[in-house]
Amino acid sequence: MNLDITVPVEDVSNLKVGDVVYITGLVITMRDQATKRLVTYFQSKIKPPLDFQGIPVFHCGPVVKRTDKGWTVESLGPTTSARMEDLLEPFLKASGVRIIIGKGGFSEKSTEIFKRFKAVYCNPPGGASALLSKSVRRVSAVYWLDLGPPEALWLLEVYKFGPMVVAIDSHGVNIYSRVRESALKRISKIVEGRI
């Protein structure tokens, strides 16, 4: 099913693994260092520079350019989400984020975390950074440039940002686990000489 999502996003229970989604509104980019700092802020009861509630987070280090009119996004490719997996639970618990976007997926242990915090994980197609950057209407704000532009928090206003496939839903279904199980069954049949 193709679905258009408008931010803020409070409920993702209607999204199922395999759905294709497009997002309109605000998206925040984050990578390793920003995620670590943000979790530290949450744990220390320090107010972060913006409210994450209901805003999708994109694991991405955008390529940005400063012009006379402000910042422009040149490229917007996803970062491997597994690098942030150890921080997933405290991040979802404190942030109110319902959609995380990235590449490579999360392990099976994170499936239950997404279910518990009623959140989903979405994947854009590989090699589509130019397409994704065309969805950006403007850079609304940037925070933590001291981490360097790829690691900073970029608040982007997007229109029909996607396509993205729901890879882990809030009901405990993980597309990566399904593919792995299917592959292992085929391998078993191959080894036994049944294929």
- What is the band of 181 on the pLDDT scale with cuts at 50, 70, 90? low
CA nearest neighbour of 121 among 32, 46, 48, 18: 18
**25-77 pLDDT tens trace:** 999 999 999 999 999 999 999 999 999 999 999 999 999 999 898 999 999 98
pLDDT at 189: 61
Residue 113: CATH number of its domain: 3.20.130.10
User: Residue 108: pLDDT above 90?
Assistant: no
pLDDT, greater one: 129 or 53: 53
Q: What percent of the chain has pLDDT over 90?
A: 78
* pLDDT given for residue 194 in this prediction: 64
Helix (H) or strand (E) holding 135: none
pLDDT for the residue 174 = 92
Please tell me the total count of domains within the chain. 1
For residue 165, the SS3 value is strand
Chain segment 134-158, per-residue pLDDT in tens: 999 999 999 999 999 999 999 999 9
Is residue 148 left, alpha or beta, with left meaning phi > 0 and alpha meaning psi from -120 to 50? left
Residue 115 pLDDT grade (very low, low, confident, very high; cuts 50, 70, 90): very high
3-state secondary structure of 166: strand
Residue 39's domain spans which residues? 2-191
Coil, strand or helix at 175: helix
